[in-house]
Chains A and B, each alone.
Chain A
């Protein structure tokens, strides 16, 4: 019994620190695509944290809305931003967008 609580405690500590670490990485990332992927990973870990806090309802909503749909919306917005930039004559020519959505 003792080892189980110790394991849970260790898991919670690792979970908490990875949440903070991923949040920091997502906020400081200059590459927007990377930042969005990190945001999705953050949402999934956050859902895990809600489960550990005995709030399965919030965990379900977080996983479905926070990680899934918001991530998809952000990726769609990024794709549109890039295609908007590509239609304008920009000095940076190294960016080749392709059809995707």
Chain B
């Protein structure tokens, strides 16, 4: 990253004119509206009951049947798995939006400095290990697919910063399959569950742990690759082999 210089954008270099007066009025209006919003929010917060019962007791009661012992993971991957399914869809849509702008822009060859080069070589395996650990530990402690996926994504960003680009063999079908794996596995599991005889994403308690781990593993991989692909900032094309 370079140290960027100040952008030199003065708001209005001209002396006091109509424009300045208009701007002042606009700002006053903004302040008034924001104060109104702040008052409304403050009122809403103050009028909340001091100890809302919430759903925590319900979650605690049913934790045994969820297949995991971390209540957050139980809610995300079992009780409210539908929300997580849609979240994965949103992430994929975001990437499709970026890809629709076109291919990766022209890149000038840049060689990483020795520090970045060495550090990325050391850190990337460690980050992959941490991602695996977070995925596994999510069953009974803070962690899970999104955290693990973002650590994996950070490893990808580090590789990209160090000048690495995916090879031509990976850019085509393999990349796309990895990107949709999370959502795909989730949808397949829910479809099979409907067919087997239940409702959408109602895991049988004996399989719940395995199914959650399966979904989370696929989701971690997809989230990591999606985040790294977002960083590239365009659709990678199969160029000359590197």
Contact = CB atoms under 8 A, between A and B. Distances in A.
Given A56-B142, A82-B4, A101-B107, A69 B150 contact: yes
- The prevalent SS among residues of B at the interface is loop
B1 interface: yes
Given A60-B142, A64-B150, A69-B154, A99 B110 contact: yes
B239 interface: no
A33 B7 CA distance: 9
Interface string B154-169: 1001001100000000
A79 B144 CA distance: 32
Nearest to A78: B4
Contacts of A99: 108-110
A71 to B, nearest CB: 10
B157 A72 contact: yes
Interface in B148-191: 150-151, 153-154, 157, 160-161
Interface residues of B, number: 32
B84 interface: no
A57 B142 CA distance: 5
Contacts of B143: 57, 60
B4 A57 contact: no
Contact of B153 (A69, A95, A100): A69
Given A57-B144, A61-B150, A100-B110, A33 B3 contact: yes
Contact of B4 (A32, A60, A61, A80): A32
Interface string A23-63: 00000001111000000000000000000000011011100
A72 B156 CA distance: 11
Contacts of A94: 5, 8
A76 interface: yes
A65 interface: yes
A2 interface: no
Interface stretch (B16-24, B47-55, B213-221, B227-235): B227-235
B2 interface: yes
Interface residues of A, number: 30
Contacts of B160: 101
B146 interface: yes
Interface string B103-121: 0010111100000000000
Given A57-B142, A60-B142, A101-B110, A31 B150 contact: no
B72 interface: yes
Interface of B: 1-9, 72, 105, 107-110, 134, 142-144, 146-147, 150-151, 153-154, 157, 160-161, 227, 230-231, 233
12 contacts: A30-B6, A32-B4, A57-B143, A57-B147, A59-B142, A64-B151, A69-B231, A72-B231, A99-B110, A100-B110, A101-B107, A101-B160
8 closest residue pairs by CB, A with B = A64-B150, A33-B4, A56-B142, A60-B147, A99-B108, A57-B72, A31-B6, A99-B110
